[in-house]
Amino acid sequence: MLDLLYAGASLSFNLHALTLTTLGILGGLIIGVLPGLGPLMGIVLLLPLAFHLPPIPAMGMLIAIYIGGSAGGSISAILLRVPGTPLAAATLFDGFPMAQKGRAQDAVGLAMTSSAVGGLVGGLVLVFLSPLLAKFALRFAPPEYFAMAVLGVLTIALVSEGSALKGLLAGGLGLFLSMIGTDEFTNAYRFTLDSFRLSSGPHLVAVVVGLFALSEVFFQIQTGNLLARPNVQRLKVTFSALKILARHKVNLFRSSMIGTFFGAIPGAGGDVSAFISYATAKKLARAEEKYGEGAEGGVVATEAANNACCGGALIPTLSLGIPGDASTAVLMGALILLGFFPGPDLFRDHPDVAGGIFIAYLMGNAILLLLGTLLAPVFGSVLIVRKAWLLPAVLLLSTLGTYALQSSVFDLWVMLAFGLIGYIMRRAGYPLAPLIIGMILGSTMESNLRRSLLLSQDGLMIFVERPISALILLIDLVLLVAIVYSTVRSSRPSGAGKEVAALP
């Protein structure tokens, strides 16, 4: 672990990397504050820029957006009772009542400091656990990599919002998209519609920007209220929250560990960890703390958990190549675009890059602790920006960033197409994250399946003859059964309801 940090220090401790990490925290906080956007949107919008930067400054900037965006949603939850991101949904239980009692400054300060400390705890677990997990994964061969890729798609499909079957179908669409282009084994063109522009498949950045950013623009336009301007309390710069936080150190550490644990489970997400952490803190709290009426511990529990979740989500992403959530899926795609493949080979072949990512994550949380407090008044004032001004800016950044990738108008058409696809999927209740994860993991899944069959002398028996791959495939089978069971169970009440409604 220390060797990794030492190897990455020279790439991380320079003006270029420090500046971009700081700007990433600022941008992440701003975009997290604005309801409906969040860290994923920030990563997507700056992904084209990162494509032209050195690896560690680029990843430092994107990871900083992830950190800042995860924390920024608490500000709008506290001041407006509107979570800037789903991660901050549990924060409004006590954050908004604190603001109603005239303690908005304390609530925002607690949210920022708890997020930073929780993120640092998650980062330390990331630094210690990821190399060990990657060392174990060095035993993997093509059968294990295939089984893990299947596990990643099934896990995200199972825990996605809405129907598990819809999540699985979205993941299947992503797997199909990964097959478009040139077959790496035969050099034959597949599903290119006789267009040379698709010989390498649709560009991942164009797909991601269209699917998330453009569809969000369409969705916000449909919801209306483009000229609404909320009334926001004014904030001041103060470090009093650090004294308050010291009174909740047990809650802080416990919530950070809960967030890290659930973050390391692919697909569980920060919103799940925040609610579980809040429920745990409430159960263990004294009666006089009055959770739900402005308890300080409620804000500490939720914000420590949802930012610690970021470090946890990076553990399977970096060590196994399985994204922990939608944001880490895009981070994983960015790392691949920069020429580095997440997994055990990253730690073995590029320890400086792995160490640099660790340092960037820890550094980002340290910067969050400082800037989140000093610039709280600025981030609070961002809430007065009307959608009518914000959405054109998002559209402009999306278009410029996508075009700048390859100076290709075709990429803009791809972005537009997936913007429409993303909007239709959202209206129909299909989650977007499984599509991206399926697209990223599809090439890994296919290539390792074919390599396994080439190596095997007994056909498919290679997958069950190896203990690790057999165990992972057994888990895959259990998840698939769970998806089918969940789908059948959720369809029964609606069917029964229709039969009852049909009776005279």
Q: Quick check: 317 and 367 in contact, CB under 8 A? A: no
Q: Which residues of 261-276 are buried (b: 16+ CB within 10 A; e: fewer)?
A: bbbbbbbbbbbbbbbb
How far is it, in rounded angstroms, from Cα 165 to Cα 410?
32
Q: Quick check: 44 and 207 in contact, CB under 8 A? A: no
Q: Does residue 161 lie within any of the structural domains? A: yes
Q: Quick check: 319 and 343 in contact, CB under 8 A? A: yes
Number of C-beta neighbours around residue 184 at 10 A: 10
Q: Does residue 7 lie within any of the structural domains? A: yes
Overall domain count for the chain: 1
Number of C-beta neighbours around residue 15 at 10 A: 8
- Give the tokens for residue 379: 């981030």
Q: Does residue 147 lie within any of the structural domains? A: yes
How far is it, in rounded angstroms, from Cα 436 to Cα 409?
22
- Give the tokens for residue 132: 């060990």
> Which pTM value belongs to this model?
0.72
Q: Does residue 504 lie within any of the structural domains? A: no
Strand partners, 189: 182
pLDDT in tens, the chain (504 residues): 677 777 778 888 888 889 999 999 988 888 887 766 678 878 888 888 888 888 888 999 999 998 888 888 788 777 766 666 667 767 877 887 887 777 777 788 888 888 888 888 888 888 888 887 777 766 777 888 788 778 777 766 665 556 778 888 888 898 899 888 888 778 888 888 888 888 888 887 788 778 877 887 888 788 777 766 655 556 665 677 778 888 888 888 888 888 888 777 665 556 667 777 877 788 787 777 777 777 888 888 888 888 888 888 888 888 877 777 778 888 888 888 888 888 788 888 888 888 888 888 999 999 988 887 787 777 666 656 677 777 787 788 778 777 876 778 888 899 899 999 989 998 888 888 788 778 877 887 888 888 888 888 767 888 888 888 888 889 888 888 877 877 777 666 544 444 434 433
How far is it, in rounded angstroms, from Cα 160 to Cα 433?
8
Nearest to 437 by CA among 328, 318, 306, 319: 328
Q: Does residue 502 lie within any of the structural domains? A: no
Backbone angles phi, psi at 322, to 5 degrees: -115, 115
Domain ranges, residue 409: 2-496
